[in-house]
Amino acid sequence: LPAAGRAKAPPGLQPGRAGPGAAGAARRRKRAPEPGRNKATVKGRVVKSAIEEYRKKKPVNHLRENLQYMLKGRLVADKAVTEQVLAQNRGRKSKDQPPEKTEKKKPEGTVFTEEDFRKFEREYFGIP
């Protein structure tokens, strides 16, 4: 137990210290207020032209340049390359896969012409 009257002094009153706000006061003394420019004065102010401001803020139509840019790049990629890129970006689930394309069967035709059929009739049946 500490003896009566021997308790620790509060930090602001300890010997060797200037007081409770010593650090803050030193900081305030170190940085002196700088004379700032008064923004309420007109000195050094540039008068802006209303026409210049209007031209600056007027919307610009970029349609012509954009059309030229779009029409310039008419390079079409190879179909095999585009298919490969699409296949790489496709998911692996069955719902992400495109439906299988079935080959269309061509209607079976004959190699014989009408003239060949007539010739065959004449030879086989004997019809002139």
Alpha helices in 48-113 (DSSP H): 50-57, 63-72, 79-89
Task: Give yes or no for residue 17 having a pLDDT over 60.
Answer: no
Q: Which of 33-42, 80-89, 92-101 has the highest mean pLDDT?
A: 80-89
Instruction: Please give the Cα distance from 67 to 65 (Å, whole number).
Output: 5
Give me the pLDDT at residue 10, please: 58
Amino acid in the structure at residue 14 = Q
Q: Whole-model pTM?
A: 0.23
